[in-house]
Structure 1
Amino acid sequence: MSAVGPLFNPRSIALVGATDKSGWSLNTYNNLIEHSFGGPVYLVNPRSEIVHGVPAFASLSAIGAPVDLAYVMVPTAAVLAILEEGARLGIRNYVVLTAGFGETGPEGERLQESLTALAEREGLTILGPNGNGFINAAAGITPYGLPIPAPLLSGPVGVVLQSGALASAVLSFAQARNLGLSLLTAMGNEAMVSVTDVVDYLVDDPATKVIALFLESVRHPAEFAAVARKAWAAGKPIVAMKIGSSQLASQTARAHTGALVGDDDVVSAAFRQLGVVRVRSLEDLIITAGLLASVGSLPGRRLGVVTPSGGGSEIIADRADDEGLQIPAYAPETVRRLTEIMPKFGTVANPLDVTGYVVVDRTLLGRAMEIVADDPGIDIIVLLTELPRVRPPDPSIFVEAFGQTAKRIQAAGKPVVVVSNALTDITEFGREIAAASGFPYVAGGIEHGLTALGAAVRWSESHVSPEPETGPEALVEGETVGLWAEREAAALLTANGIPVVPSTFASDVDTAAAAADAYGYPVVLKAAAAGLGHKSDIGGVRLGLANEAEVRSAFVDVMDKTKADGVLVQPQRSGGVELLVGVVRDPSWGLTMAVALGGIWVEVLRDSALRLLPVDKAQALRALTELRGIDLLRGARGSETADLDVVADVVARVGQLAVGLGDRLESLEINPLLVRGSRVEALDALVTWRT
């Protein structure tokens, strides 16, 4: 059992501060009694002998029996004294419902620090403060401060929320969709027990198949990454809704990369690398978790769709396309067999509309699904149906029909995803039919159901590899302060094996002309000075210089306009595709790489893929293939095909360089990185060092 295991599995509970005047107290007590907690529940109130109709104790000490969990509801100023008393009695686990701590400001933060210090000194485990408690539905343990809607369904999804106010809404929605939970935890301030602690527990919990998170922040990124990798290795998907987005601080604004990388973008990149499914709504959080718990890993993205509705078929086809799922034509043998059972007015196609004849023949939908399951070109069957809502005079007809379909689903040999038409509650009668017939989980509504299916397919296809090795420390010459413009940045890249366009520094016009002659025309002149970043903004770049006279004239003009120390002379490159490869330091997650279409299109197109560093060559290649403009590298419209293997190798080396620079680096950007066939060269670069 993990460190928080005893917290979630107490055999006896004391409600400290229990009072008839508090709805929190009454709710918590009623939840424990109504959901048949198997151990004693002690009520503690020094001023009332009877609370909630039962005898109360004046203090924890007065109980005179072992207490595994103290649920603390006393005023803020009294919390520390309660924990001190409990520690002397050997009580190790606490839920602190009381607010007024870190969420209120400096004074509350000091109180919370005192609480944490006491817990660490005495070896206590504290959930909260300022939290609702938890519901261990798998074990029937419900110290939770808000009413629990009936029935409390036990099932395969563990839910962890950084919002107590949303906990009951999530619980109600899960139960409305007939989805049972193993554990629901409202975290409160996370003074001691964190989200990652609870996720770690759920990874080891045999009652939990999928973990669903509502996150306001990822407070411990390194711990989160470790537990996410552990969940992946255990085959337990994590589905997360993370709210809040903002751009990185202005310290990265000197580089175009800063326009591509915001805090929320980094979270999405981190989740993708860690195999965490990110969703955008509470509905998708629960429906996606339920679907993954029902079907597990999926074998592909080719769908065989069976419905009783032409309109439903078309909606599914549109949403499948949105999610990148395929709906191939059925094999000839499948078409032949379906034609034999379809009504004469029906048409065999994928998606398949078996028509309203299902009202006459209640076995038609299941038999069609059975045939589609045999099609070798299909990976997953999508079955559009839903549980009945209204109890008829003779319910047995539904038990029989859904039971037959359930047996066909179990025997299909391929995953069957059941989706309802719309997102409506499953009624008590629907739950009865599901239980009696063994009918599987029904994803709520085509919109959310296909969103969940797309997420499940992507999770099944994702590959979470061990963190790549960081490589050796980078070679650096010079003082690592401020901004390194192109001259210094190019030298850094060259020293560390990154290909860079040839360049000559010229502080006088004769040297510039000689360098141009040596390279051959046309050439490029760029202003060179310490700290000079975006040279073109101040007239510091001249392109396409075709002869010595143009070079001399450009030198004089650039030096006059920019007051630079000199110029860089480079052979002009043409053709190919320009990329940006940039690295910035995220304040939470660390070094983050962006790969994007480069040059002048960076901020216009915002076509980028992000990765947390370090990355290896394979991860760099996957990032490149995520770009919407990947076809430009693959030779679209007869252009030269890039050697993606070489490009990925250079991108990975840039990442290794950034990691090798250690804590000194703030940002590094190559823009553009020119790709032409197998030739890859950095044409310009900037490096910003941390202050």
Structure 2
Amino acid sequence: MIDWVTHLSGSAAAESRAQLPFRWENTVLDSFFTPQSIAVVGAADDPSKMRGKLLKIALNSGHKGPIYPVHPKGGIIQGKQGYTSLTEIPGGVELVLIATPGATVPGVIREAVAAGAKAAVILSSGVDMVELADAIGDSGLRYMGPNCEGYVSLDGAAATFAAVADTALSEERPALRPGRKVSIVSQSGGLGFALFGRGIKENLDFHAIVTTGNEGDLESLDFVDHLLDEGESGVIVMFIEGLKTPARFAEVAGKAADKGVPIVIMKVGRSEAGQRAAVSHTAHLTGADTAYDAMFERYGVIRVFDQEQMLSVAAALARFPHVPVKKVGVISTSGGAGAWAADLCGTAGLDVPVLSAPLQKDLSEWIPDFGSTANPVDVTANAVESGGGPLVSVLERLQQSEEVDAFIVNIGLHSPGRIQKLGERLGPVFANATKPILFTSHILPSDENMAALASLGGQGFHSYTACASALDAIGRYAAFQSKWKARPPVAPADAPKLRDLKPGVLDEADTRALIDAYAIPVPPTALASDRDSAARDAAAMGFPVVLKIQSPDISHKTEAGGVKLGVGAGEVEAAFDEIIANAKAYDPAARIEGVLIQKMMPKGHELVIGVIRDADFGPLVMLGSGGIYLEVLKDVVFAPPPISPEEAKQLILGLKTAPILAGVRGQKPADIDALAALVSRVAELARTETGIEQIDFNPVFVYPEGEGVVAVDALAVAVDPNGMAAGHGHH
């Protein structure tokens, strides 16, 4: 038996993210959400204390089985018979909740194993992770935490001391409203339950709130995976600093996409991609969250940046149909408020189109002359004060129109009972709606009106910005789902075509082999070892030519004076000599393989295609505008492979300079098809050649439609056996 002190020790900030060997079996999470029995270790009789609250919340939860308080003194605790140790509990226990000082936790876990427990929630901090691993041994027990705030399953067990959970489970919950349930999975306990509290205030219906703490064993993705399998969560909200096992993200996010369950993420912290030494432009342009953003984009995850945006987006995705949203109808009882809402929609990239004359004529039946039918539609206060008939008629007519995809309805929601009075008319509008109808109020709304809207199947939002964020998210998710369902099947990656590459910058022979293996279009080239063969090679391919130093130790040739452009007949020998001399002066120890002679290609649109291998997610393909657009504007997009030619076209359209490629001021459009095919092939190279750490094709010239593309220069870096890029050369 363990003698516990009566307070928790340790610091959340000081707790390190120790990791135990990864073991995964999905069914074990049932022991958290629907256990046969629960023991609360460290239970206190006083429900105002943290450990007393833990027991109180467990007793107030939807758990139907026995709950056993455990405390060294035993006795009656909150009306339940207490036990002095886990091994005293007749028949053992399935789930153990631990809120004792960190130093005692390994001992408690040994008792839990002896009692046959399958799962544990370790709310304590300051736990010795080595001792903890030793206590678990090969028992198969899985745990959440340490240093977490536990979880609440609104239809099952609860294992937390969070005050908001205590309040939510003690009070009578409103009847389930139309729409989807929301679940929260957060690495931060405080933020996870703060979002829950705010979400209740926003009239969201929740299924589960899970906080994972230091993720010594189970991690956030394990719980997301389980929630998806359960099928009760229509939207999953996540707060993460990073992922413990990023390699599993694609599988879990792909499952969410297949099930049509949006994931909304607030991600803080930095990925490792931007923190390693880099040779290529691609690597230099890989910022703090590049890889996460690329993966979120691939799997339709919606990234948000504050709590209001997160809850607005979650509410919209939970409450409304997931339909494309480009054109918004703004309906208001205040002309000024309507104009403001229209401006903010425009800022969010949403169009507020002027309605057609026939549609305006129809609307004028319900709108007085001093209102407006144009869009924003000013229905005037009369539309609401007269019982809501005109407002409902306008909404019904616009629902039938293809001129708008969604609505923001601004009316005063301050007077209690306003929505209740409109309920008989509004209820059927929400029930039959095929388009999102978002309500907001330019006057501070009453909680009662906001709750009444949710009970009808609508949703009230506190600002026009929140409305715009919500509609943008609905539209983006609908567009993603359309693409996701149409995506081509992906074959497994082939075996690498290039093996046993020397670490560092690839030499000319290996670079050539890579280019040939993936049909990368390049100019005619030849490697010359002396000035005479250089002249012969140049004459054979035709002038002008480019000369470039070839050395695995000089990755940035221009800085070394190792490049000569526009070399004509009779100039090759002197250019050869000068390049060799410059290279030797730049780096006397550099290995010189010779000088590459390359046919000088006519200028086209200048782009860059590259690959960087991210420490978390593996290869990422970069497409960027070349020249000053790359260096100054950083006009780049990233995506993980594989990338189909159709997906590559979408990447190209994501560039700021895409309109230039499409053809402006009389210029012919660029050969987008050829560029997309090249991006797709580079993505296949990235997926297949696992020995390649970084690649740059820079510049890539894109010629007018039908005339193709050419990669003028190539730089590739092989990884060393320790998995890091080597031979970084000079920047």
Return the TM-score normalized by structure 1: 0.90
Task: State yes or no: 1:666 paired with 2:693.
Answer: yes
Closer/same/farther in 2, CA of residues 170 and 422 from structure 1, 3 Å limit: farther
- 1:127 alignment partner, one of 135, 141, 144: 144
For 2:397 and 2:228, locate their aligned partners in 1 and report how far apart those are by CA, in whole Å. 37
Q: Of 582, 596, 600, which residue of structure 1 is paired with 2:610?
A: 582
Residue 15 of structure 1 aligns to a residue in which SS? strand
- Residue matched to 1:454: 472
Superimposed CA distance per residue, residues 471-501 of structure 1 (whole angstroms, 9 cap, x where no aligned partner): 4334438843211256642442124311111
Aligned-partner residue type, residue 442 of structure 1:
G
- 1:683 is matched with 712
Structure-1 separation of matches of 2:58 and 2:129: 31
- 1:529-678 correspondence runs (5 A): 529-545=551-567, 547-563=568-584, 564-662=592-690, 664-677=691-704, 678=707
Q: Which amino acid aligns with 2:50?
A: W
Tell me what 1:142 maps to: 158
**Equivalent runs, 1:163-182 vs 2, <5 Å:** 163-182=188-207
> Which residue is equivalent to 1:483?
505
Give the structure 1 partner of residue 259 of structure 2.
234
Residue 587 of structure 1 and its aligned partner are, at CA, apart by 0.5
Query: Which residue of the partner structure matches residue 500 of structure 1?
Result: 522
C-alpha displacement at 1:246, in angstroms? 5.3
- Aligned 1:380-395 pairs, distance under 5 A: 380-385=406-411, 388-389=413-414, 391=416, 395=417
The total of aligned residue pairs comes to 671
Distance 2:498 2:62 in 1: 67
Aligned partner of residue 637 in structure 1, secondary structure:
coil
* 3-state SS in 2 of match to 1:370: helix
Q: CA RMSD in A?
A: 2.7
For 1:105, the equivalent position in structure 2 comes to: none
Q: Which residue of 1 aligns with 2:549?
A: 527
Please say if residues 241 and 285 of structure 1, whose CA atoms lie closer than 8 Å, have aligned partners that are also in contact.
yes
Q: Which moved more, 1:301-310 or 1:226-235?
A: 301-310
| Residue deviations 1:308-345 (CA, integer Å, cap 9, x gap) | 23233223323322333232332333211111211221
Distance of aligned partners of 1:57 and 1:441 in 2 relative to their CA distance in 1, 3 Å threshold = same
Whether 1:219 aligns to 2:244 is yes
Give the aligned partner of residue 469 of structure 1: 491
Q: Which of 480-489 and 399-408 deviates more?
A: 480-489
Residue 356 of structure 2 aligns with an amino acid whose one-letter code is: A
Deviations 1:572-591 (A, max 9, x none): 22231111111111011001
Aligned mates of 2:549, 2:243 — CA distance in 1: 43
Inter-partner Cα distance in structure 1 for 2:491 and 2:216: 33
The Cα shift of 1:347 comes to: 1.8
Q: Could you say which residue in structure 2 is the equivalent of 1:109?
A: 129
> What secondary structure sits across from 1:542 in the alignment?
strand
Q: Which moved more, 1:681-690 or 1:27-36?
A: 27-36
* Preserved contact between residue 383 and residue 418 of structure 1 (Cα < 8 Å): yes
Q: Unmatched 5+ residue regions in structure 1?
A: 102-107
Letter of the 1:190 partner, please give it: E
- Structure 2 unmatched ranges of 5 or more: 1-25, 585-591, 721-731
Check conservation: 2:34, 2:63, Cα contact below 8 A.
no
Post-superposition Cα deviations, 1:600-621, rounded to whole Å, max 9, x if no partner, equal 5422221111111232222222
CA distance in 2, matches of 1:656, 1:35: 51
Q: What CA distance in whole angstroms lies between the structure 1 residues aligned with 2:443 and 2:246?
A: 34
Q: Retained in 2: the 8 A contact 1:579–1:675?
A: yes
SS of equivalent residue, structure 2 residue 693: strand
The amino acid that maps onto 1:617 is P
- Structure-1 separation of matches of 2:535 and 2:316: 68
Q: What secondary structure, in the 3-state scheme, does the structure 2 residue paired with 1:372 have?
A: helix
Question: Offset at 1:404?
Answer: 1.4
* Alignment of structure 1 residues 80-119 onto 2, 5 Å: 80-101=106-127, 108-115=128-135, 117-118=136-137
Verify: 1:336 aligned to 2:361, yes or no: yes
The aligned counterpart of 1:49 is 75
Task: State the Cα deviation string for residues 220-269 of structure 1 (Å, max 9, x = none).
Answer: 22322111111111111111111113563565521000122234111010
1:372 match: 398
Provide the secondary structure at the position in 2 that maps to 1:402. helix
Q: Check whether the contact 1:486–1:686 (CA below 8 A) recurs between aligned residues.
A: no
**In structure 1, how many angstroms separate the alpha carbons of the residues matched to 2:296 and 2:444?**
30
Asked if residue 407 in structure 1 is aligned to residue 428 in structure 2, the reply is yes
What CA deviation, in whole Å up to 9, does each residue of 1:15-66 have, x standing for no partner? 1111358822122223234556544432111125344465422122333256
Amino acid at match of 1:303: V
Residue identity opposite 1:433 in structure 2: A
* Preserved CA contact (<8 Å) 1:582 1:594: yes
Displacement after TM superposition at 1:190 (Å): 2.0
Q: Percent identity?
A: 30
Cα deviation, residue 212, structure 1: 0.7
Residue identity in the other structure for 2:700: L
Please name the residue that 1:266 is paired with. 291
Structure 2 CA distance for aligned equivalents of residues 92 and 111 of structure 1: 18
How far off is 1:114 after superposition? 2.8
Tell me which residue corresponds to 1:104: none
Alpha-carbon spacing, 1:321–1:252, altered in 2? closer, same or farther (3 Å): farther
CA contact (8 A) 1:501 1:682 kept: yes
Contact in 2 for aligned 1:486/1:533 (Cα 8 Å): no
> Paired residue for 1:71?
97
Residue of structure 1 aligned with 2:316, choices 287, 291, 307 = 291
